[in-house]
Amino acid sequence: MGIFEGRRLVVATRNRGKMREFSRGLRGLAISLSSLHDFPHLPAIREDGASFLENARKKATLVAAYTKVPVLADDSGLEVDYLAGAPGVFSARFAGANATDEDNNKKLLRLLAGVPLGKRGARFRCALVLALPGEPPVTVESTVEGYIGTEPRGEGGFGYDPLFFLPEFNKSFSQLGPDLKNKISHRGKALAQMREYLLQLGWAN
Amino acid sequence: MGIFEGRRLVVATRNRGKMREFSRGLRGLAISLSSLHDFPHLPAIREDGASFLENARKKATLVAAYTKVPVLADDSGLEVDYLAGAPGVFSARFAGANATDEDNNKKLLRLLAGVPLGKRGARFRCALVLALPGEPPVTVESTVEGYIGTEPRGEGGFGYDPLFFLPEFNKSFSQLGPDLKNKISHRGKALAQMREYLLQLGWAN
């Protein structure tokens, strides 16, 4: 941990886009964040829960048991009304086990081809679980409502961000810029709540 | 109830297709079956659970509280792999709040247009819950694996039956005839288990 002697918090993800949002959402706290890239020997975790919360709880508790340090896990995804809530917990692998963000976005656009704007409602959901050694897990959930555009827009963010539009802004998550996105996004709002909790625990310094 | 003095069992459904399968699956027991058509003043039940089991449990317990007699509730639906498990708990209203079976089937076929057979895997799931006054609810779950055909086939059954094909038979549920369908279907297998339970309770006579 070098010169920095703050508390350590492992974020149970290998996704660089998520990791950027965690760093931003928790900045100012006296913590040193690690991702799962720092634990190359960690066994693979099957994210086979029926809900985001179930998956996040599983990741947090398994990684905490392995690393013996505090762990924050996220599980999140997109629910599309026209698809009866799909892709949901399968968001990251919608187009297959090794699907890229682009593969998933293309599949979603193809499925919604010709569907009018009024039927393209969708929401992002995020579940965060904090596992502290010897304590019951702390959970936070948040959502953001929007719609699926007819083509990708913008360069920022990751995942389905280029297709997820906010009616208030007429812009996709990718077009909002990280400050505005993290203020209103599912993950940003959940992280803000978790940040408050960590401040109450005295993690400000 | 007229001349028949057997036990009464309310089946918590208004769906005539399901009701036929319940009658068939439970025949030989000393019971008189009623559907919700016999309770026109029953308040509407919101089927807003995240799983079939949750919905079936809600229907069984609410209808039992209202009718004060034993209630058997079913919740069931179709999970399509290519759609990440959709329509799932939204199967009956996939194409909208007042969707007909035909509307739902057409929507499903449109979404899978051009998808190769190897990616059209699907399963029907059924959750049954029996609510007996003063007892904890009894639950049974069953599934059947198949695939979504490229056009509807057959006249029997209801719901997605004309599109749900069994690889072992190369026929849709609608083409199997009620005897074979109820032997291998999600609901038929769950009903067979529930029938055994009712026999153990002494409901044979």
* E-assigned strand segments in A65-113: 71-80
Chain A residues lying within 8 Å of B121, measured CB to CB: none
Helix (H) or strand (E) holding A21: helix A16-25
Chain B residues lying within 8 Å of A84, measured CB to CB: 83, 86-91, 94
Q: Which residues of A153-191 are buried (b: 16+ CB within 10 A; e: fewer)?
A: bbebbebbbbbbbbeeeebbbbbbeeebbbeebbbbbbb
List the catalytic residue out of A38, A48, A75, A101. A75
Query: Does some domain include residue B85?
Result: yes
Active-site residue flag, A48 = no
Residue B55, both tokens = 């919905």
Find tokens 């027991």 and name the residue: B29
pLDDT band at A133 (very low <50, low <70, confident <90, very high): confident
How far CA A77 is from CA of A153, B102, B155, in Å, comes to 19, 30, 39
- Confirm or reject contact between A3 and chain B (CB < 8 A): no
- Model confidence over A49-106: pLDDT tens digits? 999 999 999 999 999 999 999 999 999 999 999 999 999 999 999 999 999 999 999 9
What is d(CA A121, CA A79) in angstroms, rounded to the nearest whole number?
Answer: 9
pLDDT band at A2 (very low <50, low <70, confident <90, very high): very low
pLDDT score recorded for residue A130: 97
Beta bridge partners of A146: A122
What mean pLDDT, rounded, does chain A reach?
94
CATH code of the domain in which B113 resides? 3.90.950.10
pLDDT score recorded for residue B1: 39
Helix (H) or strand (E) holding A104: helix A101-111
Beta bridge partners of A172: A165
Surface-to-core class of residue B200, CB atoms within 10 Å of its CB (0-12 exposed, 13-18 middle, 19+ buried): exposed
**Under a CB-based contact definition with an 8 Å cutoff, are residues A6 and A32 in contact?**
yes
Chain A residues lying within 8 Å of B86, measured CB to CB: 83-86
- Model confidence over B133-151: pLDDT tens digits? 888 999 999 999 999 999 9
DSSP category for residue A29: S
pLDDT band at A6 (very low <50, low <70, confident <90, very high): low
Across the range B87-93, mean pLDDT stands at 97
Residue A188 reports pLDDT greater than 90: yes
Query: Does some domain include residue B84?
Result: yes
Query: Does some domain include residue B72?
Result: yes
Q: How many Cβ pairs closer than 8 A exist between chain A and B?
A: 32
Query: Does some domain include residue B1?
Result: no
- Model confidence over B31-75: pLDDT tens digits? 999 999 999 999 989 999 999 999 999 999 999 999 999 999 999
What is d(CA A21, CA A176) in angstroms, rounded to the nearest whole number?
Answer: 14
Across the range B76-80, mean pLDDT stands at 98
Nearest CB to A85; choose among B51, B90, B111: B90
Query: Does some domain include residue A172?
Result: yes
DSSP string, A53-68: HHHHHHHHHHHHHHH-
Query: Does some domain include residue A88?
Result: yes
- Confirm or reject contact between B87 and chain A (CB < 8 A): yes
Cβ separation B84–A84 shorter than 8 A:
no
Query: Which of A79, A111, A141 best probes binding to B when mutated, by most B CB atoms within 10 angstroms?
Result: A111
Closest residue in B to A93 (Cα) is: B84
Chain B residues lying within 8 Å of A89, measured CB to CB: 84
Residues 6 or more apart in contact with residue B167 via CB below 8 angstroms: B146, B147
pLDDT score recorded for residue A134: 84
Q: Tell me the HSE value of A157 on the side-chain side, using a 13 A CA sphere.
A: 28
In terms of residue numbers, what domain contains A178?
Answer: 8-200
Query: Does some domain include residue B30?
Result: yes
- Confirm or reject contact between B180 and chain A (CB < 8 A): no
- Confirm or reject contact between B54 and chain A (CB < 8 A): no
Across the range B151-173, mean pLDDT stands at 97
Helix (H) or strand (E) holding A25: helix A16-25
Cα–chain center distance at B122: 16
**Under a CB-based contact definition with an 8 Å cutoff, are residues A110 and A98 in contact?**
no
Domain total for chain A?
A: 1
pLDDT score recorded for residue B73: 97
Query: Does some domain include residue A146?
Result: yes
Q: Which residues of B87-113 are buried (b: 16+ CB within 10 A; e: fewer)?
A: bbbbbbebbeeebebeebbbbbeebbe
What is d(CA A174, CA A152) in angstroms, rounded to the nearest whole number?
Answer: 9
Q: Is the ipTM of this complex over 0.90?
A: no
pTM above 0.90, yes or no: no
What's the helix, strand, coil split of chain A in %, to 5? Answer: 40, 25, 40
CB atoms within 10 A of CB A58: 19
